Amino acid sequence: MALKALIFDVDGTLSETEDVHRQAFNETFAEHGIDWYWSREDYAWLLRTTGGKERMKVWRDSLKQSVPSVETIAALHAEKTRRFADIVAEGGLSLRPGVRELIAEARTRGLRLAVATTTNRPNVDALCRCCWGVPAAEVFDVLAAGDEVSRKKPAPDVFLLALQRLKLSAEECVAFEDSRNGVISAVRAGLRVIATPSTYTQSEDVSEASAVLDALSSEILSAIV
């Protein structure tokens, strides 16, 4: 069946965003007098859990604490999202090698583009404004975000939502991911997956992907069409 669309994860796939997210979390904790600080090692462990609010709950529980509450975590996460956008607006991100070229070539070939991410829509907009100078809706035809589904990766929900909005079958699309949870999510949605492990996920088992590459490029399309 002919390829009609590409579906991208965001964090770690389009850009090495995770240290910026970690910075935004730590600054938010400090601002509110919360005695939490996530090192790179801490964050690598926390990334096994998808979703920022979910990571905060896992960290709280690992410390055997009862605070902050679920409501406070939600408020802290909203502030962290704003802080992430502020950092990115100052030029804190760049695309991973080959991403810009791949997306440009996909457009030239008439392919549709979608995002299926655990992060929320404001973070995707912040990244696109930084790297493309426009909001996400001007780069991608379809956006499916983690706050729009009841189950996050490795559940297939966000990829299924992207397929629904594209009005395409899984056989007509290819997904791009960097993590094990993301690869499993896409495979469970019936998608072929190309994995490009990121700084934080390079030691993860992504063997269920159709291909594992160091970086993306426009040449990929000739191999998968």
Q: What is the CATH number of the domain that holds 38?
A: 1.10.150.240
Amino acid at the residue 104: A
Per-residue confidence (pLDDT) for residue 1, from 0 to 100 = 79
Q: Is 11 tagged catalytic?
A: yes
Domain CATH code at residue 169: 3.40.50.1000
pLDDT digits (tens, 9 = 90+) for 147-198: 899 999 999 999 999 999 999 999 999 999 999 999 999 999 999 999 999 9
Say whether both 129 and 190 belong to one domain. Answer: yes
Within 8 A by CB and 6+ apart from 61, the residues are none
Say yes or no to pLDDT of 113 above 80. Answer: yes
Catalytic-labelled residue, pool 11, 125, 157, 178: 11
Of 64, 90, 116, the domain-final residue: 90
Same-domain pairing of 153 and 183 = yes
For position 91, what pLDDT does the model report?
87
Residues 75 and 130 in one domain: no
Report pTM.
0.93
In this prediction, residues 108-127 reach a mean pLDDT of 95
Range of the domain at 57: 18-90
> Which residue is catalytic, options 9, 125, 157, 178?
9
**pLDDT for 60:** 97
Verify that 11 and 52 share a domain, yes or no. no
CB 92 within 8 A of CB 130: yes
Tell me which of 87-96, 169-178, 194-203 is least confident.
Answer: 87-96
Active site residue 9: yes
Round to whole Å and give the CA distance between 88 and 127.
7
Same domain, 108 and 42: no
Q: Name the 3-class secondary structure at 155.
A: coil
Residue pLDDT, tens place only, 10-54: 999 999 999 999 999 999 999 999 999 999 999 999 999 999 999
The pLDDT, as a whole number, for residue 208 is: 97
219 and 192 in contact (C-beta within 8 Å)? no
- The pLDDT value recorded for residue 124 is 95
pLDDT at residue 225, rounded to an integer? 64
